[in-house]
Structure 1
Amino acid sequence: MIENKLIEEAVKNIDNLSDLLREIEIEGGVEQYLYKKDIIFPDDGTLDSKMKMCEEQLSQFIFNAEDCKNFLSEVKDNLPSYDEYDEAYQIHVNQKIRDITDKSLNFITNIPKSPGQQWNFNNQFMNYFQNTMNSIDLSTIRAFENFKFKDVNYAIFGKNGAGKTTLLKKISVELLNSNSFVISASRNITPSGNYNVSHSISLSQALENGRNSIYSLLQLLRDKELLAYRNNENKKVKLSDQYYSIFNSLGLERELKELNGMPYLNIIGGNEESQYQLEKGSDGEIAVAYLILAVLLLPQNSYLFIDEPEKHLNGALMKKLFDRLELERPDVRFIYLTHVINFIETRKNVKLVYLEKTNQVNKWEFQPVDDVNSLDLNIILNVEGTSDDILFCEGIGTNSIDYQIYSSVFNNLSVVQCNSCEQVITNTKGLNNDSRFIKRNVFGIIDNDFREEGEIINLAKNKITVLEYSEIENLLIDSEILESVNDELNKVILSDLKNKVIQEISKKKITIMNDYLDKRFLKNISAQKLKFGEGLDEQISNLNKSNQDNLIEKIKLLEQKFDKFVYENSYDELISLVPAKGIYKLVAHELGLSNEKFLTNKVVSLINTNPEFKNMIESKIKLVR
């Protein structure tokens, strides 16, 4: 338990150190401070360079001291909650407080003070300066804060270059030492066929032993069982029995067993000829065997960092395996580093942590993610790989019309597709309102779909553009765009084509009106709030009456517009108003193209080769920035 007395002593010492460092800063830096104190440093030829190094590090030293003051305040405030924290974390916090206390006092006590005092700058002052600065650096303990809770596993995600590998090494070597183990993403666990491994190998070495890893782990398992036998612990369930039991419970249609001291796989229901050595198994079978061994061999209360835990595993197997491993070793803290959404979704008792890249070596920024329901996590991981501003649009697959057009027109943006207009809105709002994940401009663009003016204005406030056309296909058969495409193809008289389009649309009046009613009715209902209890019947009655009056008024207005545009042959007004997927196919056919894909390809080609055409389409989209 961390004592208040220890914290108070550390606070006193770090306050004194902070005051001293500020005094050095006010005096103009290390050299000026020591000069005014009349401290003598014999010059061995390196004095200027060493002095300059201290000057450059002074601001970091001051920052570390201030960070320690904040840290001590946080520890004191959170003392009542420390029972919820992992024992290893408490031990390291305690040790860090002692470091802050001792090193601060040591620096204050030993810094030269007497005028005329002679010091060796390199071996004395600089050593005190740098040792103290490094001892009160909190970057590692700050990293550990993100994994401090008992009985909780963690999933870390972040883009490449965020420092995951460096973080793993830092924590395992400097913080947790023998209690931390790492299974790296670069693991090559396919056995080489050489079963001769050292008996003196450690678990950490075995995990890093490349193609002999699985044999090294098997040797450790046998050594551990032999030790248990010698200590009369053989009445317990043997590790090897656990190993085979876990593997055989996963439904792989393979049974793992030992034959002549070697692990063999046998197809369930097969004969002796269907047996084969584990080293000849699939990558998935070997990966499962490797992970089971690694987890069973961990010491009590270990931390296990697994980079890319999903490697070589399919979704169903992945879930079963890690469910079983976490059940077998509830004392172990599993810390997963992954980019795979399916894996994160399989873990129940997991805290999600976003690891952000920084420009400083051995510095990390962690963002706990308490609620990802408002964001599509897959989107976050996809957009992390780009430095461009982002444009969300509707569509699935790179062949969708939305993606092809928007990625060509806005080629300076990273265009990311969403399954629906609702997801475009959610992602754009979510990322614009939460800068933890994406520190770039985020825009959205969606079809009009009979949206009303008030809704369009509100969406624009969140950088979401609503097309002035019912759908993207409507935009592509706008008169000006159609004219440019037809000039390239030199196929038809456009006035005749437009008349055919208007006639076709007029035939679809009932279908169009029904489409409008469906969409507006759902929007109206979703905008209403009902409260359970007395008066519910009246609420529903009023809701139905309100929607009835509203829909009747608006459908009449739409019908008037529709009839007017058809009567006046107002082509552009008509195609901006109504859905045009079927009409788009008709236009492609009338232009002499086999199908609508060729029309889209022609438009994309013009965008990429004709700047004026591209500008014209961009002006019609009117992207809100």
Structure 2
Amino acid sequence: MKIKLPTKKGIPNTNPEIDFEQLVIIGANGSGKTRFGAKIEEDNHLKTHRISAQKSLSIPKLVRPTSLEVARNEFFIGSNHPQQNVNEALSYKKSNRWGDNFNTHLLNDYEKLLVLLHTEEYETLSDSKEKNILSPITKIDTVKSIWEKVLPHRKLKIKSGVIETYPTGQEDNKYNASEMSDGERVIFYLIGEVICSPEKSMIIIDEPEMHIHKSLVKTLFDLIEIERPDCSFIYLTHDIDFAFTRQNAAKIWAKAYEGNSIWDYEILEGDMPIPEQLYLEVLGSRKPVIFLEGDNSSIDYEIYEHVFPTYTLKPLGSCEKVIQSVKSFNEQKGFHHIDSFGIIDRDRRQVDDIVKLNSKGVWVLDVAEAENLLLIEDIVKAVASHMGRDANDVFDQVKRNLISFFSDQMEAQILLHFKESLRKKFLSLTNFTKKNLDDVLPELNTMYQSIDKQNLFENIKLDFEKAASTQNYDSILQLFNLKNALIPASKVCDLTGIRNKEEYKRLVITILKRKDIVSEQISKGIDLKIIKTLHNNS
């Protein structure tokens, strides 16, 4: 969705434009985030549904359905009104939904939400009865489904005008939803508000993390976003942990409200690190950190975000920066008490190198590069099943295609590995110990002559030939370092009915977001492809 942002300090009479699917506005308390969101709603009120941070979580024990038109008007603009086109009147919405206090009014619409959910269910079931449609999925069914995925230890029971809850497996211990905890109530409320929002809405959620345990926040909003792909989301938050969970979101740093509908803010570009000042002004993450290669849009970041939900992930660009940052961060652990790790591509690294990296807290992929993760068996089979194909048959064909491609490329790949091994050996020549040139030159000659180049080549060749002769798929993924070529060569897209590599990547991420048995299996499969504690047994 493309919108004009509020006026930016230093750029009078100008409203920058932004195009987004998800937008995170992050800043300290008092930096004007709520007013920023309210201004966006004011400028786009016909297509915007805003959920306030200041809201009543009081749930009525019983509600009565009304007409669907009345329920929708009450929910969306705060009151029903006989006037046609009432949604066009911003002043009416400000007065009724926001109590003439557009920025900080205590939103009290839980009852209106429940009335709309029960009314929509009644209307849907009545309509389906006339059309002989069996068991239609209503909005309240969807809310129930997502709520139970986020809180698997609880179940909901939907009755006429009443909602009850009970511990999973203990239906005899039901109690009215009005007695739920704040966390359980706000999760139901947020799901319901989003599910009931009009089609193609821009949904603004102020302090989405409020009252919700940190371990549940990411799962909740992943599931909500999947359910409403027609909508765009704007989150207003001071929580860096939450901001990092919205991996593909555009981000704005709100610094201060200057008055007169002018804000001091910065649009953070995708390749721009979050400024240090931001970390000082907002509540910093206290979770352990994993530094990554690449940037926020790289495939490894998108994957690891779901495999390591209890970590803060920080892309740094190069593997050298990852290694150095882990070292520096861990040296300061006595000050910040946060564990730090790194993940880097294997990139033709030998066992000795991996052992040293592991000892320093740097984990190494057990595939040549991150993109190869998309071809591990668990992922290929999950995608095939999702697309309605025979998982075993698709994987067998992918395996045959990749083995064949590996055999064709083997000679060139051996030379590339040999070249990289030589580079590292030659780099080690600079570790001479002598102090003057006359002594250094003989030492260098001795070190150079000690490199058995033929043996080095033969050992690499042996590894490749063994992988090819045994048709060891895992070994091929570990050795095959040919960027952007493996997925097309495997023909996994053709075999699963997916148009191209980018769509295949997006589907893998979508499956990982679902937090079900399949996504858990994929996450474990990826985790097993990361070497964390390798010991050199040679």
- Whose strand proportion is higher, 1 or 2? 2
| TM-score, length of structure 1 as denominator length | 0.37
Larger radius of gyration: 1
> TM-score normalized by structure 2?
0.43
